Structure 1
Amino acid sequence: MTTATGALAEAETTEHESDDSLAEFQWRLSVAFSRARLLWKESAARIHPDLQPSGYKLLGFVARAGEANAHHLAEAFEMDKSVVSRQVRALEELGLVVSRPDADDGRQRVLAATPAAHEALEALRADHLARMRAVLAGLTPDELAAAGKVIRCLSEL
């Protein structure tokens, strides 16, 4: 028979273990984010030595979306419009994006990745996929699905 005091102690122990697990999870997440920033920096340099990591992220978004304007980029990445504007200008100067006037709003410019940018991004994606496969090779499909669920939850914070 469990006493009220015993049940309370068990609940406190479980909560403490849960807090410890969450603290470990937060630490590992912090390390993963640091690794992601390093990967963005390395990836940007592989596309072009003068490409900034923030420009690389914007380029990846534009390439995946097919086209985008600076307003959408600023919203998607929660960046100041002036930062996006500088990065877009750099992407154009590096020959990684082209822009044209927006048919619906002539004040806006629509950006599209150049064929050279698509080619460079595809080579990076293939490399990143190979690295992911190697790192995650020991996980089962159920474990990968659970990890995906956690990442989806975190992306909604």
Structure 2
Amino acid sequence: MSFDIVLTVNGTRRTIPIPDPRVTLLDLLRESLHLTGAKKGCDRGQCGACTVLVDGRRINSCLALAVSLDGAEILTIEGLAEGDRLHPVQEAFIAHDGFQCGFCTPGQIMSAVGLIREAQAGDDPERVREAMSGNLCRCGAYAGITEAVLEAQKALSQNAPTTRQGEAA
């Protein structure tokens, strides 16, 4: 039995056939859409290497069934940069050596982007470490990751418009 679902992946609306209702979002991204940034680390939702944003929220894509996300908007690491211009979180990870081997980096970056969008980062390193605790780094680059999240949070808050369209100043 095959299903078709509609997803907006990195800004592109797509109708995607699902050959088996047990296919996870992670497997769909990697095997059907060839978006291999999200990694299959533990395949149990414990390491965070598969983190992507679904409708703006961080999820472990290895735990989400693709059929349950029909109509959702998915953002992966491949859709984060704008052309050749890196996202501020990506720039901060480079500036602060927030990675070593790089296996966990896409999940770490997507989790950081979600954390900042959720307004959970603040300026407290301990709060950032706690909010990022679902993303494991075997190399131990946590100090650089925390510094990168704090710098990106600051940069993004400085660049944020003071009023939104339709709101009074």
TM-score, reference length from structure 1: 0.34
Greater percentage in strand: 2
Instruction: Point out which structure has higher relative CO (alpha carbons under 8 A, 6+ apart).
Output: 2
Greater percentage in helix: 1
For the pair shown, which has the larger CA radius of gyration, 1 or 2?
1
TM-score, reference length from structure 2: 0.32
